[in-house]
A = this chain, B = another copy of it.
């Protein structure tokens, strides 16, 4: 740890901080540069809180070396984590495709799409029953009825279900019917909800907040894991940039190798919500395989014009087949297995 002081620090101010450091059993080496004074902290500084040190008079910066997360860190757990959901395995050497409607709208629609994506090779069925909508006047999802429909589609097709929980109440239902609990981008720092899913025994897919740093994202996963739930999928779904004219967000594929270096958890890409553009789903899915992600999640709709939610980004079952084909090609070239549904 480095503690950096204003150049005009008083000896007393310096001494206050030095004592605080010594009190935690660390060494405090004072280094006087021409314009800066710093304290180099040697020893185990894990009990020194950077925020607290910053509040001392005269301190301008405190630089800590430790990443703030532990359980999710690759430092703590060297091997890649494999997450098994029924027959599907997320982990190294594999590529999983999750697909389905953005929102469950009715039984027929969901069954039709589920069968189509299953036939094309999808492994997990996605579909929202509780929808976070930026307007209170928009369709908010079918609720439990939607979950029951998903369940029937799951039973028929054999695909496990991934679906979003918004709050305690919906979480109870999602836990009951679903197989993977999705936490959305707007809830990434809903710490109460994170604690709740941390106590459950079903896997969680944690979407990155739309302007969350990688550290904040991993820290949110740490909240879940601190509660005991170690089965976490990290989902990059596009970050906010200064340019929203042509794509809704920027899908941060460069985060994939970084997250894989920092953490042992599998990484999922959501090109549908990430780009919001139908014509970007194919290239971004292929890039997801190539960059080393473990899975992709794709919105499919067979009547996008009447979709109750995000129709602009949904592709047709026919396009989805083509995407699956090309995904298989790239995966094969890089010695990855695309899970074959049974």
Contact = CB atoms under 8 A, between A and B. Distances in A.
Interface of A: 2, 4, 7, 16, 29, 31, 33-36, 38, 40, 42-44, 46, 51-52, 54-57, 61, 63, 65-66, 68, 73, 75-76, 132-137, 166-170, 186-187, 189-193, 195, 210-211, 213-216, 219-220, 222-223, 226-227, 238-247, 249-258, 261-262, 274-275, 277, 279-280, 283-284, 286-292, 304-307, 309-312, 314, 326, 329-330, 332-334
A336 to B, nearest CB: 11
A210 B213 contact: no
Contacts of A189: 132, 134, 186
B311 A52 contact: yes
A4 B65 contact: yes
B277 A246 contact: no
Contacts of A35: 66, 73, 75-76
A306 B239 contact: no
Contact of A75 (B2, B7, B243): B7
Nearest to A326: B334
Contacts of A306: 52
A2 B65 contact: yes
B247 A244 contact: no
8 contacts: A33-B46, A40-B40, A132-B189, A134-B189, A166-B192, A213-B243, A215-B245, A257-B280
A70 to B, nearest CB: 8
A149 to B, nearest CB: 21
A133 B191 contact: yes
Contacts of A262: 246
A132 B290 CA distance: 32
A284 B292 CA distance: 9
A209 to B, nearest CB: 8
Contact of A222 (B136, B215, B291): B136
Given A57-B305, A250-B252, 17 more contacts: A4-B65, A29-B42, A31-B42, A35-B76, A51-B310, A51-B311, A52-B307, A55-B304, A166-B192, A213-B242, A215-B243, A241-B241, A241-B242, A251-B253, A253-B254, A254-B275, A290-B330
A186 B51 CA distance: 20
Contacts of A7: 75
Contact of A291 (B33, B168, B283): B283
Nearest to A59: B312
Contacts of A40: 2, 29, 40, 42
B257 A279 contact: yes
A314 to B, nearest CB: 7
A219 B132 CA distance: 13
Contacts of A54: 311-312
A72 to B, nearest CB: 11
A110 to B, nearest CB: 18
A38 B52 CA distance: 22
A136 B226 contact: yes
A249 B258 CA distance: 12
